[in-house]
Amino acid sequence: MSGGTFNYMQHGIRDIYETIEYHLEIQGKETEYGGEYPIFEQQVLKQLQDAVECLKKAYVYAHRVDWFLAGDDGNENFLKRLNEELNEL
């Protein structure tokens, strides 16, 4: 594994947006206890979706900067990979 400049804390950002995505996916579905998970109001839903988008972008930046500062990527590779990963979002 490369990087390590931030002690791999960028993966915590990924965990956060994946948890939000999970809660978005299960809204309105039945729980294991017979009830249903809440359904978010449209304004709340929009803000949660925006949060996921921002956090994904933050993760890409943190990850690419980590590799750059750790010496795994030079200037050219850093810019290339950063742009590629941001465009994939």
Among the ranges given (7-11, 32-36, 41-45, 59-63), the one the predictor scored with the smallest mean pLDDT? 32-36
User: Does residue 6 sit within a domain?
Assistant: no
Residue 1 lies in a domain: no
Residue 33 belongs to some domain of the structure: no
Residues ≥6 apart with Cβ < 8 Å to 33: none
Residue 1 has what pLDDT?
A: 59
Q: What is the pTM of this model?
A: 0.90
Residue 2: the pLDDT is 83
9 found inside a domain: no
The C-alpha atoms of residue 65 and residue 86 are separated, in whole angstroms, by 13
Q: Report yes or no on 80 lying in a domain.
A: yes
Query: How many domains does the structure of the chain reveal?
Result: 1
- Domain membership of residue 60 as a residue range: 14-26+38-88
Tell whether the model's pLDDT for residue 6 goes beyond 80. Answer: yes
pLDDT band for position 12 (cuts 50, 70, 90) = very high
The answer to whether residue 32 is domain-embedded is no
Task: Indicate if the pLDDT at residue 38 is higher than 70.
Answer: yes
Alpha-carbon distance of 19 to 5, in angstroms, equals 24
Q: Do the domain assignments include residue 68?
A: yes
Tokens linked to 23 = 């809660």
Of 14, 18, 21, 20, give the one whose Cα is nearest residue 60.
Answer: 14
Average pLDDT, the chain: 96
